[in-house]
Amino acid sequence: MLRGGIIHAYPSLPVPPEILPGDTVQHPDLRTMLCAWMQIGDKTLPQNPDAILKPIKSFLHSVHLSDVLNGGKDFRFRVIGVAVFPGLEENQTGRLISQHPDPGISLRFTALMQKTVEIRAPVRGLSKRITDHISRDFLIESLWLPFGTNDEVKQIMSMAVFSPLSTSPLP
């Protein structure tokens, strides 16, 4: 699919995510990430991020960090792990989420990040990634963690885990 001049090998349909409280995450890696976030006292992204990065080091390849723009109207990818967008030919670092070449990703990420900004608390997402290749269809459980102050979320860190849609144990 072509969007904004970038080809995505397996574009997904824009299916809205289910948005749940962050403390309901089930996957062990997401629970580890949530626990690491909870250890950070003031919830600003630390200058020395060892407190959050050390416990999640083994799965950093699946983590991304985005800046919140215009009070949550849009978001810009700041750091993206190499496993975040398989099948996407062009690096999205520095790009707006609203301009992501996969319409499903753009819709899901925007909805989940806007909710994170709105409630200023962790958010769990359950999403269906539907493509025209059944081998690329997944149920995605994700965790979205806010960083900033009590009044304003400035950055969001997230990670997703994928289960084949046909065999997923999650509802």
Domain CATH number, residue 130: 3.30.450
Smallest CA-to-CA distance from 136 within 111, 163, 109, 110 is with 163
pLDDT digits (tens, 9 = 90+) for 27-78: 999 999 999 898 876 676 666 666 677 888 888 889 999 999 999 999 999 9
Domains contained in the chain, number: 1
Q: Contact at 8 Å (CB) between 44 and 147?
A: yes
Q: Contact at 8 Å (CB) between 159 and 142?
A: yes
Q: Cβ-count burial of 2 within 10 angstroms (0-12 exposed, 13-18 middle, 19+ buried)?
A: exposed
pLDDT digits (tens, 9 = 90+) for 132-147: 666 567 788 999 999 9
Paired strand residues for 162? 140
Looking at the predicted structure, is the pLDDT value of residue 5 above 50? no
Give phi and psi for 6, each to the nearest 5: -110, 135
Residue numbers of the domain that contains 79: 2-167
